[in-house]
Amino acid sequence: MRHSIHSRLSSIFVVWGLFAFTSYGQTNPADPPGANSYNATQPNDNEKRILWIIPNYRTSPTLTDYKPLTTKQKFKLARDDAFDRGGFILAALFAAEGELTRSNPTFGHGIGAYPTYFGTAYADLNIGDFMTEAIYPTLLHQDPRYFRKGTGRGWSRLGYAVGQIFWTHTDSGGRQFNYSEILGNSTAVAISNAYYPDGRDAGSSASRLGVQLGVDMASNILKEFWPDIHRKFSRHRVVSDPSHP
């Protein structure tokens, strides 16, 4: 199956999410003023990539003093995610997995097939980003950002992260079913049938959509806990540095 790497990536996300959950299951104090003060248009350099690879431009640390994104900002958000160097790395990994497992026999096998696997994997990422972060959020007046909870017990934060897949914020500050996520990924899967000759039936498309939503759920978990994990790693590096007083 051509999305087998997505399933594996989802497993990685869940493992990291559970690590964060067990490490920060107790109530945590709120972040100090200025901490994680990045937003969708100006991410902090230390936190704009999860695991130092996965683009993380659309995470917002708080809903305090909420201001909606303009159409231009939504498209910039999608562009930043789509063309970040991490996107190229992820596409290369997806392509390598697809080529090694021969998930699309029509593409062939060997060195000559890899560029096709890479191009289609990169197209998947870009189309998904623009559909869920720019096009549908603009048409439906929904906010594509992930808003961190940041405090509370692990179970509460975990449920909150998963819930944002189905329930999101509108540009007017209200709450609404996350049509942008569901319709955006559904459209991306439908478009992908044009350049994936294998597995174009309804069952395969539904399966790909389910996998993509699962990956996005796991991604939300990482977005919720990544600042905590990052700070913990940073503290470990400082403690292990012999030059640190």
SS3 55: strand
Of 10-14, 168-172, 205-209, 237-241, which one has max mean pLDDT?
Answer: 168-172
Lowest mean pLDDT among 41-45, 89-93, 132-136, 185-189: 41-45
Distance CA 123, CA 126 (A): 5
Residue with the two structure tokens 């560029």: 115
Residue 140 has pLDDT above 90, yes or no: yes
Contact 6, 211 (CB under 8 A): yes
Q: What distances in angstroms separate CA 117 from CA 51, 108, 124, 216, one per listed residue?
A: 24, 10, 11, 22
Quote the CA–CA distance of 148 and 157 in Å, as a whole number. Answer: 9
Q: Is residue 245 part of a domain?
A: no
User: Confidence band (pLDDT; 50, 70, 90) for 184?
Assistant: very high
Q: For residue 64, what are the CA distances in angstroms to 13, 37, 137, 199?
A: 28, 12, 21, 45
* Residues paired with 54 in a beta bridge: 50
- pLDDT exceeds 50 at position 209: yes
Q: Of 56, 61, 86, which Cα lies nearest the Cα of 222?
A: 56
- Examine residue 209 and state whether it is found in any structural domain, yes or no: yes
pLDDT of residue 230: 75
Extended strands (E) in 129-245: 146-147, 167-169, 175-177
Residue 85 lies inside a defined structural domain of this protein: yes
239 in any annotated domain: no
Where does the pLDDT of residue 171 fall: very low under 50, low under 70, confident under 90, or very high at 90 and above? very high
Residues 212 and 186: their CA atoms lie apart, in Å, by: 9
Residue 240 lies in a domain: no
Q: Please check whether residue 47 lies inside any domain of the structure.
A: yes
Give the structural domain span for 108: 4-22+34-232
Average pLDDT, rounded, for the chain: 80
Stated pTM of the model: 0.76
pLDDT at position 158, please?
Answer: 93
Average pLDDT over residues 142-149: 94
Phi and psi at residue 64, in whole multiples of 5°? -65, 135
Mean pLDDT of 88-104: 88
